[in-house]
Structure formats: structure tokens, C-alpha cells
Amino acid sequence: MRVIFLGPPGAGKGTQARRTAARWGVPQIATGDMLREAFAADTELGRRAKRFYDAGELVPDKVIIGLVGERLAQPDGRKGFVLDGFPRTVAQAEALDRLLDERGLALDRVVLFRIAEADLVARLTGRRVCRACGRTYHVTFSPPRQAERCDVCGGELYQRSDDEEATVRHRLRVYEENTRPLIGYYRRRDLVDEVQAVGTVGEVFEAVVGTVERGR
């Protein structure tokens, strides 16, 4: 099973990618995790990526694509994958196609997570993080027992700057601008399945699995 999950920040792609990857017995491959693994392994590409990362700059497409190629070449990546949040642009998608073609492989499906902007803003702006231990809460969906205090260590909870409403709305605009052409790219190949990313985690999971497995 070779599947891409696309969707805006806060749509729940990461949660669903972990669950579906476990069901299908394939790795979940997320850009952030991939970068951290490359840093830890101290590979040549990892060192190149870290120079950009440490400088606060975006890691160039060429380096990211090289890391994806390395990850897909690992034994567990040969039987399939769930790509979470990659590709982000048509150029990255074309590079991924070339990587797969070199291995005689092809994508099975692209799952597009749909959710209203108002719901996304509520999800993201409601997040709170413990300053001491990093545990995450949500003021509506998973509030702490005591307001503004972590259940685990008693640390102060705070709102990250990237969870403030103005920042969230900017992130969503950037996503729409970058991803709309990418969705069209995959639609032209009849690979896209849409899933409504609302409801419980279990309900969305069943929708994702049912949609992909029927479409294969």
C-alpha cells in the first residue's frame, strides 16, 4: 500500500497516518520525523539538512527529496508507506514520481482530508502545551483537570505563538496556495479520495481505511 495523506494543519493527518500505517504494516513517513532521524543518524544528507534547519531556513526541495529517497530505500519502505505531509508542491510530487518509477513502483491513492476553516481554527487555537514536560492539551477537547496547569507535572500551560489565531489563518492560506495545484496534479491521474476529517478519531479512521481499500 503506497498512499499520500494531504490536508491542512490540524486536520488530523498525523494521527490517522499512524493508525493506518499500523493496520497495513507499512511505515508512516513524515517530513519532521524523517529530518530528526537523519540528524540522529548523521548521514551526509542529514548534515546538509541540519545546516539549513539550525539557521532557521527552509530545507531545500533537493535535500528533502534526497531524504525521502533514502527512507523509501530502507527495507520497510519497499513494501509500502503512508506519506504524511509530503509532497507539498507539484515539484516535490514530480520528484517523488521519479523516485517511485526508478523502483518500478506507483502510488495507490492520495487521501485529501477536508475540514472547514472555522473548525481548524478552533482546533489549533485551543491547543495548550506544558512549559515543563511538553504534554499537550486542548481547552475544549482534552482540557486539564485544573485550568492552566498540567495534570502530570503541575507545570504552567501556554499557547504557542504558532497557535495564535492570526498565525493559524496565515498557515492555512499558505497551505491553500501551495497545495491547490498539487491536488489538481493528482486529480488528473484519478488518484484522489476525499475524507471528511470530522467526528471521532475512530470514525475518521474507518472512513480513511474504507475509502482507500475500496479504491485500490
Closest CA to 8 of 122, 205, 126, 171: 171
Containing 128, the helix (H) or strand (E) segment is strand 127-130
pLDDT on residue 35: 80
| In the predicted structure, residue 46 carries a pLDDT above the cut 90 | no
Average pLDDT over the chain reads 89
| In the predicted structure, residue 55 carries a pLDDT above the cut 80 | no
pLDDT on residue 137: 94
In whole angstroms, give the CA distance from residue 124 to residue 135. 15
Which residues, 6 or more positions from 157, have their beta carbon under 8 angstroms from its beta carbon? 128, 129, 130, 131, 137, 144, 148, 149, 150
The residues annotated as belonging to the active site are 13, 88, 127, 160, 171
**Model confidence, pTM:** 0.82
Span between the terminal Cα atoms of the chain, in Å: 9
pLDDT on residue 56: 59
**Fold of the CATH domain 2-206:** Rossmann fold (3.40.50)
The 3-class SS string of 74-99 reads CHHHCCCEEEECCCCCHHHHHHHHHH
Strands of 157-158's sheet in order across = 136-138, 127-130, 157-158
| In the predicted structure, residue 94 carries a pLDDT above the cut 90 | yes
pLDDT on residue 138: 93
| In the predicted structure, residue 53 carries a pLDDT above the cut 80 | no
Containing 187, the helix (H) or strand (E) segment is helix 165-187
**Lowest mean pLDDT across 53-67, 97-111, 171-185:** 53-67
The 3-class SS string of 136-173 reads EEECCCECCCECCECCCCCCEEECCHHHCHHHHHHHHH
**Lowest mean pLDDT across 43-47, 52-56, 198-202:** 52-56
In whole angstroms, give the CA distance from residue 166 to residue 161. 10
Higher pLDDT, 138 or 50: 138
Tell me the C-alpha to C-alpha distance, in Å, between residue 109 and each of 116, 121, 138: 23, 28, 32
pLDDT on residue 36: 79
pLDDT on residue 213: 85
pLDDT on residue 178: 80
Answer whether 139's CB lies under 8 Å from 146's CB: no
**Lowest mean pLDDT across 59-63, 103-107, 206-210:** 59-63
Name the residue ranges covered by the structural domains of the chain. 2-206
